[in-house]
Structure formats: structure tokens, C-alpha cells
Structure 1
């Protein structure tokens, strides 16, 4: 009952299993047991990204994670004591990070997890998430589309009909280069990166 009136202990107790699962690995962490039964996950999307150098959001995430890793104790056995020593503001920042690390808003092919994806959308729109700060329709993306898909993207941004016809007649490499120039500065996003606040269409044909 005392925990009800002591958030300065409750917050470290909640963080302990979450931080341990995100930042620590090895036999000691696998054997660890926690009184607060919160299931944390170690998620990593790097294996799903072909060009890591072009993934600005992932680079930012990795930098923040590395910064936290530099501040945490080297051994998981020392984590609890470290958490108790931190001010509440810092623990809240850490809670935001490990919560984000456990957020699963990935829409897999034929994914039927409607409730999970809807909640992920709610979470994304609460802080006005805008992926245009981290992603642009560059050649690496456009090269994965068939030419009609490239034309569809251009059409969504209001490009003239002549431009849409042109990219479907020239070689693929030329279509990609021209589309990249036309899309520069438009802020276009593919469906999976859009939140409800982005008023654009959803589906683009992808080159298998």
C-alpha cells in the first residue's frame, strides 16, 4: 500500500524491467526477474532498412539511445540503485524513451492487428508527429516504384499531366531522377508514414 503514495519509488520500479530489456543483454539480464510485471521488448528496425545512411529518423533514434546508454550503469545489477538516485524529470525522459522503444506501429503485410495499429495512430498524432522532418521521397525510394507508381506520386502533389505522362515513357533511371527533382520540397509522404493530419492519398504501386 505504501507504493500508492510514493511515486518516487513507483516510477523507478516501473522503469526497472523496461530499461533492463531495452539496454541490457547477456546471461545476467536473461535471468533477471522483476516484481513489477511489465514486459519490455528490444526492437530494432535496422535489419528492415536497405540504406541505413538515408534513414534520418533511425540515425536520430540511435544517437539518443547511445546517449542514454552512456549514462546508465554498465552492469544490470546496478540499475535499480541508479534509478533511485535520479531526479523525477530525468526518469520521465527515460520513461518516454523506453516507451517509444516498445511502441509497435509496424504494419506488416496482411496485418490484421487493427486495435494495435489504431492505438499507434492515436499515439503518433498526440504529439503532432510529422515524419517530413525525417524523410523525403528521394531516389532510393522512387527506384522501388514502377513508373506508373512514380506518376501516381507526382499526381498526388499536383504535378501537371504532361509530367506524369513523361515519366512513364522514359527509362526508369530518368524517371526516378526527374521525379526526385519535381518532388523536392513538396513534403509528400508514403501512406505508412502518414498520420491522419496528413491529407494525402494512401496507396502507391511498388516495383516487386
Structure 2
């Protein structure tokens, strides 16, 4: 018998006052005369009238959803006790579009940007207590939401067909905004609204992952490092690319010349806010490639002419390794290539780096820069770990970051095949070769049994 089974049996008596739901409804429950079964320990006392508990819970959620509907202008509002990711997958979603802020709004945005920079520096203090860190985290969340509201808005068309659903997560009300019911999605099929994303990449809203500029720049750097590692490990292909670049830059012009690499005998400088914390896979691969180079020709005691003569005498394969390593060192900060704007590097990356995860793994340094809601969304929707997302909703962000770090470092043995594939392939969408979120995650809808080791660990 698993611990989860025992806990569920005990909960069948009612709702414990210390549970998220019990804490959320207790005051109103007592005001309405609901019966409470006392226990030796106060936190184990039970709210016996489960029907009254659910009624109060749904009333409070419905009120919050209606308040948000009125404030934002949506067409409908609804509420659910628990947000079921599998069920809600059938819903569509609309997103706010960028708007031009007026002078007052722009002034406030500048103030928010300056304050966020100060808060981020404070949060990097490893000596911070959990309470102080959480307070800073909540302040950052509030400021980012305020800045987003000043720069984005829903179109009238989208507001007329979408709504908001309120649910309880971690003892707090969570609003899922911009949802489009399945029947309304069907009606709109083939007629995207003004805010519909036609690029194949899902646009973010307030409840979804939107990458701050500082994080986006750092991810570009990490992707360039991964690409450099892939190039160093494919010397023949990279040699061809380098020679083609040198020749085509001289003989061709316009769009036929790629700007994705710098072949000008200078190593590319890469800046990163947290270089000491990022995954070191690509750095280790490049270092190993460097150790395998034949540098016998590179002797400062020789004249340049003698060095060149020794270089020319190298085996063709050794020359290819040298050229590949040098070219790899010129990769510039980047995201996935656009096939139309840079078809050469788009196809070349697919050849030598079909999966960036061979050179880079998400770790705590990345997860710590995500909001708690983003991490839960990644676990529940992208990785198919819906049960774990629900269980971790009441945990601190630090605990969720540690869980994700451990999960990606070595996927748990209790994962289903679909979940394991999703974890092995996941990365921020713009980091992948073709700029598409990992397809395997779409098949990861099956979650493990509630009494699994993952649920217990969470």
C-alpha cells in the first residue's frame, strides 16, 4: 500500500483545515455553520461538509473570474476546482498584441526597467533567506506584469470570443486568460484574428512564458556555443562551409552571403550574465576538440613562412579539424535561423546540430530565471507531468527549480516513455534547430500514477 493511498483514504472524511482548499474556504465555511471534526492536532481537523466546501470554493473562484472578465473585457468567465491540463488542451487561446505606449506609460516602463535591474541584482545574493527571496520574486512578478499591461492589449475581436477561467493552485487563485472554447475555436478555424500568430510559434500571454530581453540574449549566447561545439565535431562539413564562405563573400553578393559566422581571423567575444552557472557540455566538447588538434606547426620560434610550410604538410583531416575549430570560435549569438533570411545556415544547422540537447542541457541557472508559473506550465504541459505540476504548485520556487534541475540532469526511472522523450528533447522553442518546440512533448500527455516515486518526491 502506497502512502498516497492512505492519504486519500483519510481525506475521504472531508477536507483538512490545513489543506490548500481548507485554508482557502475555512473562514466562510465557519461563517455558514459548516461542521468541523476536531483532531488531536488542529491542522488535522476536518471540514466535514464537502459539498459546502466545494460550493464556497466555486463561488469564490467564480467571483474572481467575473472580476477579471469585467476588468479585461472578456466575453465569459468560468471556474474549476483544479485546472486539468489535458482537458484544457482542447481550448484555443488568444494573445494580446503590442501597442505603442503613450508618454506617461513609457515613463513608467522606464522606471520599471530600472527597478527590475536592481531587484535582479539583489536576488543573486546567495545569502538571502527564503522569505526575503520570495518577497523580491513577487515584486519582480508584479512589475513585469505591470510593464506587460502597458505594452500589450487584446483586440476587440479576440475579447468577443474568449474568456477567463479561475482555478486554485497552491492555495491561491490562478487566472487563465484569453481561452477560447472548443466550439468557438472551430467556428474561427481558418480565420485567424489580428493577434493570431502565423509564424508557427505560440505567442506568450501574461500566464505563459515570455523571455525577458536579458534572458533572451543569454540564451542566444548559449545556442551559439552549442552550434560552435557541433561545428567542431563535424570538421569536414565545417571546412566546406568555411571555404564556401570565404569564396562566396568575394565572388557573390546580397542574400547569397551568410552573416551567421565571422570569418575574419578574430574569435567572437561572448557575453553572458551567468557564464559560471550555465551547462558546460558545449564548453567541454570544444575543449576536447582543441586537445585533439595537431598544433605542432604553431611554434612561435618559427617564422610565419616555416609555420605555413608545416601547416601545409598536415594531413587533410588534421587541417579540417583546425579549420572547423577556428570557424566554430566565430559563431555569433543567435536563435534558430529563418529559412527565408538565411537558408544556408538553416540547413547547415539541421545537418550538424539536429538536436541542441546533444550539446546543451537546461539546468538550475535557466530554471531559476523562470517564473514559478512558467516552471509549472513546462512540467504540466510540455513534459506531461501534470500530477507533479499540481503537487509542486504549493512548493516554493527554489524547490521547483531543484526538482527540474534533478529531472533534466538524470530523468527519473518512473517516467513513461513519452515523458522521458519529452524531457530528453525539451528546450526553449527558439533554441532548437528549426525554431520549433520539441515535438515529443506533444505526445507526453500521459502522466504517471499518483502514487509514483515522482509524486512522492515532489
Q: TM-score range by the shorter chain?
A: 0.5 to 0.7
Q: Which has the higher helix share?
A: 1
Change (3 A) 1:129 1:87: same
CA contact (8 A) 1:150 1:167 kept: no
Secondary structure class of the residue paired with 2:293: helix
Distance 2:361 2:405 in 1: 9
Match of 1:5 in 2: none
Partner secondary structure for residue 389 of structure 2: helix
**Aligned twin of 2:320:** 92
In the TM superposition, what whole-angstrom CA distance separates every residue of 1:55-113 from its partner, at most 9, and x where no partner exists? 11112213323543743413372432222211222222222222222333524xxxx9x
The number of equivalent residue pairs is 162
Change (3 A) 1:72 1:168: farther
Q: Indicate the structure (1 or 2) with the bigger Cα radius of gyration.
A: 2
**2:407 and 2:283 mapped to 1: Cα distance?**
26
How far apart are the structure 2 equivalents of 1:79 and 1:193?
39
Mapped to 2, the partners of 1:53 and 1:66 lie a distance apart of 22
Structure with more relative contact order (C-alpha pairs < 8 Å, separation 6 or more): 1
Among candidates 195, 201, 204, match of residue 433 of structure 2: 195
What stretches of structure 1 move > 6 A for 4+ residues in a row? none
Match of 2:377 among 141, 152, 155: 152
User: Could you tell me how far apart the structure 2 residues matched to 1:89 and 1:69 are?
Assistant: 10
**Structure 1 residues without counterparts, runs of 5 or longer:** 1-10, 19-37, 202-208
Note if contact 2:294-2:318 (Cα within 8 Å) is conserved in structure 1.
no
Q: Which runs of 5+ in 2 are unaligned?
A: 1-238, 247-262, 412-422, 440-458
Q: 1:102 to 1:53 in 2, by over 3 A?
A: closer
| TM-score normalised by L of structure 2 | 0.30
Structure 1 vs Structure 2 CA RMSD: 3.6
8 Å contact kept, 2:429–2:437: no
Counterpart Cα distance in 1 of 2:307 and 2:334: 30
Aligned to 1:115: 341
